Chains A and B, each alone.
Chain A
Amino acid sequence: MNAAHVLAASTVGAGAVVAFWILAVISVAAALGLVLAPRAVHGAVLLAVVMLSLAVLYGVAGAPFLAFVQIIVYTGAVLMLFLFVLMIVGVSAADSMRETIRGQRLAAGLAGIGLLVLLALVVGHAAIGPAAPAGSNYGVLNVQRLAQLIFTRYVFPFELTSALLITAALGAMVLAHRERTSPKPSQRDLARQRVRGDHPAPLPGPGVYARGDAADMPALLPDGTPSPLSLNPVMARRRGSAIRVPGPGVPAPLPPGEPGKDGGPDAEPDREGAHP
């Protein structure tokens, strides 16, 4: 009950304690799930749950500003950027659980134990030592007091931190920046290129309803062969795609009997017209 006592000390009564125990269970479970989840995106979502639990704890402890800044900055911006990168990882991709660096698990375990000791010391110190001041000083005036502290006593660390962040952002931009060697094609250039190219008109659409109802069905040419232009090669390569489209210029003949299988006059190719 020590931790709960510390957190609940600055607020009123039993509601805070109940909230603490509910959130403690949720956040510890989510944190464990974050470590154990095989998929990175699940881990990111569980991390968001941990952050939200922390935010609610801040709110219960009488620091609403901190609570919402936690949500906006960490959950809304930082973690969203992580998620942004993780989105590129496909749904079916799972992390490999093999140890790639020798002795990594042992080192991680030792570091974990060290962190646990440190946290226990901090929490124990806070529980035994003088408690945080009572909630009457905070609450409604929370924002003003925080602003006062940030811009008076802690102005130097605050500015240093922002300088650090700006330096990091500038460094990332410098590292990621690449000078353009040719001018960027404008919309006009692209239009000209397209009209003078092989296909001024849009490429043929997929053969939805020609032989199936999925967008990865190729359109059929008048002779019944699938049109390689009608499919995005990326989609055609996807696992479980209905048909493999050959490269452009190499129309694949359909297997015999295939076109007539679904029935319907539209599905029947005009073979005599194609091979007189």
Chain B
Amino acid sequence: MISHVLAAAPAGGSNPTLASFYGQPWWMIVLKVVVLFVFLMLTTLFMIWAERRVIGRMQQRPGPNRAGPFGLLQSLLDGIKLALKEDIVPRGVDKLLFWLAPAISAIPALISFSVIPFGPEVSIFGVHTPLQVADLPVAVLLVLAMSSMGVYGIVLAGWASSSPYSLLGGLRSSAQVISYEIAMGLSFVAVFLYSGSLSTTAIVNAQANGAQFHLFGVILHWPSWFAVLLLPSFLIYLVTMVGETNRLPFDLPEGEGELVGGFHTEYSSLKFAIFYLAEYVNMTTVAGLATTLFLGGWRAPWPISVWSGSNAGWWPLLWFLAKVGILLFCFIWLRGTLPRIRYDQLMKLGWKVLIPVSLAWIMMIATIRVWRSQGGSVPVYIVGGAILAALLALAWAGDMASERRRVAREGPADDEEMEGGQSPSGAPSFPVPPLDLPHYHGIGVAAGVAGSLAGRDGAAAGIGGRPAGPAASDSVKEVTGA
């Protein structure tokens, strides 16, 4: 086995292949399934806690800190309370589908994690086994298939609830997830081309080491992570993974301001908890998939991979969990940072940006690979790159020219709303305060500060104090109506 940059080869035979999944004892499979289930439950609890704590910190407040150390038990207690609440089934719902929808939502989410590799082959009770429940020649397709099955839960919940909010949430969600699934599938294609397989084990193995190249007589390696090699694919995947999980800024199916709770408006108690669980398990799954496909899977990142034992035994579990944790933190970070976008913006991004860019990128990757496999030479790359750059420049120039034409035709956007009072055309305008006020310039504030030392009455008198200068007094008249 060829070693990674500066890293010695791990012990031979620790890299699992598809064949290592055959002939496992039945209790091993059951054990792995149970452990995975418990892991996903604990991740959900921990994730809810982490989300509330981190967002609290981002918003200058402590977040839950009462139940257990650092409030760690808060989400467990919340979960117990939620499950024990009264289960309300509204009148007029379609009972069967109303019951089935949470299960349809949660089961695919749990299934798709079974193909994510947690680590290399380890020994459990004397049996050598990969740290992964199952692998298939088409494992990544299983994740895609399960995410498209999960939409059924959302859509059926929306329909069966017999509520306009739920129905709109369900419709939005199905359109959104189908659109983003296309871009997500396209972002995988480049990974499949480079790894030559759809099996997650093989994809992780393909990221073990980069190709060698010689620079000034030193043997160096190209970076081996697909996130670096196939950066556009990775970026597209990052956007689509947020869209697929209906998280901010793409959480329109449950936008509180418009749809109350979206598809789960009418759900309560345990059924609502299961939707919640499905959302967090889906987040963990897409983060695990990003780790597996783009971030080297369970393999140690570069500075650690110098240590020869980093990719053997149980250590890779730690690297895997750390990578997934960082991605999950990004979900929280996004939620704490970005506002929700509009639905037409969401669709425009999905269909007009992500899908065309993915297609162009795949075409480029495939062309380059064919050239390289047929011994492509450096001049070909240079000429091809020049042609591509010329095309991009032409497209950009055309865009700018059409924008100029548009401005020339319609005139620049008028800023009448920014003016207080009357607009230049004489029409009444927006009731906004004037742009310029004396206290914007510190006039009257100094007196206020001085007055505040003397007490509240003094401060009020200071702010309302007499302004200096004729221009400022005009503005004050405008405000006070004097």
Contacts and interface: CB of A to CB of B under 8 A. Distances in A.
Partners in one complex: yes
Interface of A: 39, 41-42, 45, 48, 64-65, 68-69, 71-72, 75-77, 80-81, 83-84, 86-87, 90-92, 139-143, 188, 191-192, 195-196, 200, 234-235, 240
18 contacts: A39-B94, A64-B138, A65-B137, A65-B138, A68-B141, A72-B185, A75-B148, A76-B145, A77-B178, A81-B178, A84-B174, A84-B175, A90-B162, A91-B93, A91-B159, A140-B137, A143-B137, A188-B413
A92 B171 CA distance: 18
A45 B98 CA distance: 13
B92 A240 contact: yes
What 4 A-B pairs are tightest by C-beta distance, nearest first? A76-B148, A68-B141, A71-B145, A91-B162
B141 A41 contact: no
Interface string B220-259: 0000000000000000000000000000000000000000
B155 interface: yes
Given A64-B136, A64-B137, A65-B138, A76 B151 contact: yes
A76 B142 CA distance: 12
A44 to B, nearest CB: 9
Contacts of B138: 64-65, 68, 142-143
Nearest to A81: B178
B167 interface: yes
B130 interface: no
B371 interface: no
A72 B144 contact: yes
B96 to A, nearest CB: 8
B183 interface: no
B37 interface: no
A154 to B, nearest CB: 19
B430 A195 contact: yes
A68 to B, nearest CB: 4
B194 to A, nearest CB: 16
Given A41-B97, A71-B149, A80-B155, A91 B160 contact: yes
Given A91-B94, A143-B198, A72 B148 contact: yes
Interface string B154-195: 011011101010010011001100100100010000000000
Contacts of B141: 65, 68-69, 72
B145 A72 contact: yes
Contact of B145 (A42, A68, A192): A68
Interface in B64-118: 91-94, 96-97
Given A76-B149, A139-B137, 17 more contacts: A41-B156, A64-B137, A65-B138, A68-B138, A68-B141, A68-B144, A71-B149, A72-B145, A76-B144, A80-B151, A80-B155, A84-B155, A87-B155, A91-B93, A140-B137, A142-B137, A143-B198
Nearest to A195: B430
B155 A83 contact: yes
B433 to A, nearest CB: 15
A69 B138 CA distance: 10
B341 interface: no
B323 to A, nearest CB: 26
A80 B148 contact: yes
A69 B198 CA distance: 13
Contact of B152 (A48, A72, A92): A48
Interface residues of B, number: 39
B18 interface: yes
A274 B92 CA distance: 39
B417 interface: yes
A180 to B, nearest CB: 14
A75 B97 CA distance: 17
Given A64-B137, A71-B149, A92 B92 contact: yes
A164 B196 CA distance: 30
Contacts of B149: 71, 75-76
A92 B148 CA distance: 26
A99 B1 CA distance: 71
A76 B181 CA distance: 10
B142 A91 contact: no
B105 to A, nearest CB: 14
Contacts of A142: 137-138
B164 A235 contact: yes
A270 to B, nearest CB: 30
Contacts of A80: 148, 151-152, 155, 174, 178
Contacts of A192: 417, 430
Of B152, B160, B181, which is in contact with the most chain A CB atoms at under 10 Å from its CB?
B152
Contacts of B91: 240
Nearest to B148: A76
B24 to A, nearest CB: 15
Of B145, B156, B160, which is in contact with the most chain A CB atoms at under 10 Å from its CB?
B145
Contacts of B431: 195, 200
A130 to B, nearest CB: 26
A206 B174 CA distance: 29
Contacts of A92: 92, 162
Given A64-B136, A80-B148, A45 B162 contact: no
Contacts of A196: 428
A87 B159 contact: yes
Contacts of A71: 145, 148-149
A83 B177 CA distance: 14
Contacts of B428: 196
A18 to B, nearest CB: 16
Contacts of A195: 430-431
Nearest to B151: A80
Contact of B159 (A41, A48, A75, A141): A41
A40 B156 CA distance: 12
Nearest to B410: A183
Given A45-B156, A48-B152, A143-B138, A83 B145 contact: no
Contacts of B144: 68, 72, 76
Contacts of A235: 164
A191 B167 CA distance: 27
Nearest to B198: A143
B417 A87 contact: no
Interface in B16-43: 18
A91 B92 contact: yes
A68 B413 contact: no
Contacts of B413: 188
Nearest to A142: B137
B92 A83 contact: no
A124 B294 CA distance: 49
A87 B137 contact: no
Nearest to B93: A91
Of B94, B137, B142, B162, which is in contact with the most chain A CB atoms at under 10 Å from its CB?
B137
Given A68-B145, A71-B145, A71-B149, A234 B137 contact: no
Nearest to A235: B164
